[in-house]
């Protein structure tokens, strides 16, 4: 596609439910990143993929968070047993180069609200 696409754009879920967020990166981009942005805050790094492998998972805040990437393309971020503090905008980005040495292009984000 023309840019990084994320779905859904908005998600409201009840506390305790699981959610899956999807990211479709720019075709050919081998690096993919997930970030979390709380209201009025900066970007918190969650996980980085190079191809299908995740050499850096250091940002995942708890074992309720997991992510996978298949076929070197689409990635899903899963949050299990959601809590209210998980409410935020989840941003995905992709880039051509490895480990953050080239420009990253962001998706429009998924706004997650846990009620």
Partner 1 sequence: GENVEQHPSTLSVQEGDSAVIKCTYSDSASNYFPWYKQELGKRPQLIIDIRSNVGEKKDQRIAVTLNKTAKHFSLHITETQPEDSAVYFCAVGQLTFGSGTQLTVLP
Binding site for partner 1 (CB under 8 A): 31, 33, 35, 41-45, 48, 56, 58-59, 91, 93, 95, 99-109
Identify which of residues 72 and 100 has a Cβ nearer to partner 1 in the complex.
100
Q: How far is CA 61 from each of CA 5, 97, 110, rounded to the nearest angstrom?
A: 24, 26, 18
C-beta closer to partner 1: residue 82 or 95: 95
Q: Identify the H or E element spanning 86.
A: none
Smaller CB distance to partner 1: residue 80 or 106?
Answer: 106
Supply the DSSP symbol for 43.
P
Query: Closest separation between CB of residue 81 and partner 1, Å?
Result: 26
**Dist CA 113 CA 85 (whole Å):** 9
């Amino acid at each position: 596609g023309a840019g990084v696409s994320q779905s859904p754009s908005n998600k409201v879920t009840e506390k305790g439910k699981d959610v899956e967020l999807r990211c479709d990166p720019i075709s050919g981009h081998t690096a993919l990143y997930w970030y979390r942005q709380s209201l009025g805050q900066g970007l918190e790094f969650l996980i980085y993929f190079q191809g299908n492998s995740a050499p850096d998972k250091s940002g995942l805040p708890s074992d309720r968070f997991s992510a996978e990437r298949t076929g070197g393309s689409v990635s899903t971020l899963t949050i299990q047993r959601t809590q209210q503090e998980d409410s935020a905008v989840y941003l995905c980005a992709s880039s051509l180069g490895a480990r953050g040495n080239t420009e990253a292009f962001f998706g429009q984000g998924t706004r997650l609200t846990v009620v």
